[in-house]
Amino acid sequence: MSGLENLQTNLINGKADAVKQFMTEAIDSGLSPRDILNNGLLKGMEEVGRRFKNNEFYVPEVLIAARAMKAGMEILKPLLADTGVNPVGRVAIGTVTGDLHDIGKNLVSMMLEGGGFEVIDLGVDVKPEKYIDAINQGIQIIGMSALLTTTMMNMKSIIHAIEAANLRDKVKIMVGGAPVTENFAREIKADGYAADAASAVDLAKSLLN
Ligand code: B1M
């Protein structure tokens, strides 16, 4: 089994310590952080999703795998992030009200930091007021993530709350997450949609231009 396959297997089995060990080995062997992310961690998480969908995995197994994913991402974070440069912009990102999924949001956050942005992580289950506070503190872009078809509807309510607070013209709004689409983003009057973490960085940069 290759190093990346070992990484995937241990992620799927929720073995955080082994994930950390294989991450370190993969880095030492000269693999790029992007390669480790895409072909190790994300592939493993995809398989966790497949098993969850087919009722081969239940919430506890998914949570343990998510914890292993987090441990791996902590090692990748400094490698993906740039150092010592002035931020290209300020983004506040959160998973919307009612939604506790944070793996994708954390990944987007990490990639934005790597792309030179200052990122304020608002966490999960983020209520409209928290986004509004962030805008009042001078944030240029709001990022909203949702993984559930039910909670993606809360993106619309959050945008309404921002409009009601007369702050809509002070901020750009970008959205993403597995059930979210370009069409949906347009429908709720977000400024942009990104399908993955790498495109989120390009989108954020284009929103500031
Ligand atoms: Co949940 N879950 N989950 N879950 N979970 C899904 C999303 C689901 C598709 C699984 C399934 O049934 N196949 C399903 C949703 C169905 C639907 O609504 N259509 C589901 C469900 C139903 C639930 C519960 C309701 C289950 C229950 O309790 N019965 C429950 C809801 C809890 C809640 O939020 N209120 C629940 C709970 C959980 C766990 C807590 C166990 C765990 C979350 C742990 C955590 O996040 N800390 C979990 C997980 C891990 C998943 C799956 C398996 C994996 C999600 C993930 O992390 N993917 C997921 C199945 C799947 O997706 N295959 C599933 C990896 C991640 C990197 O991808 O988040 O899509 P993603 O992010 C991508 C892009 O979407 C994009 O970039 C990221 C990187 O490329 N992106 C953005 C994301 N946010 C962005 C923002 C941007 C731009 C791009 O701009 C701001």
168/198 same-domain check:
yes
Our count of domains for the chain comes to 2
Residue in 173, 122, 108 with CA at minimum distance from that of residue 143? 173
**pLDDT interval class at 172 (50, 70, 90):** very high
Quote the ligand 1 centre to 18 CA distance (angstroms): 23
79/115 same-domain check:
no
Q: What is the CATH number of the domain that holds 61?
A: 1.10.1240.10
Confidence at residue 83, expressed as pLDDT on a 0 to 100 scale: 43
116/202 same-domain check:
yes
List for the chain the helix, strand, coil content (%; round to 5).
55, 15, 30
Percent of the chain with pLDDT over 70: 96
The residue contributing the CA closest to ligand 1 atom 57 is 103
Provide the residue range defining the domain that includes 56. Answer: 3-83
In the predicted structure, residue 107 carries a pLDDT above the cut 90: no
Q: What is the CATH number of the domain that holds 94?
A: 3.40.50.280
79/94 same-domain check:
no
160/57 same-domain check:
no
108/139 same-domain check:
yes
pTM summary value? 0.85
Cβ atoms within 10 Å of 202's Cβ, excluding its own: 12
pLDDT digits (tens, 9 = 90+) for 15-72: 999 999 999 999 999 998 888 988 899 889 889 888 988 899 988 898 888 889 889 9
68/163 same-domain check:
no
By the 8 A CB rule, do 4 and 23 touch? no
Q: Any residues with CB less than 8 A from the CB of 157 and at least 6 apart, and which?
A: 97, 128
Which residues contact ligand 1 via a Cβ below 6 A?
45, 48-49, 52-53, 59, 62-63, 66, 93, 98-105, 107-108, 143-145, 147-149, 174-179, 194, 196-197, 200
* Whole-angstrom distance, CA of residue 65 vs CA of residue 171: 35
For residue 27, the surrounding DSSP H or E stretch is helix 16-28
Phi, psi dihedrals of residue 150, rounded to the nearest 5°? -75, -45
User: What is the dihedral sign for C-alpha 89, 149, 99, 101?
Assistant: negative
**pLDDT interval class at 86 (50, 70, 90):** low
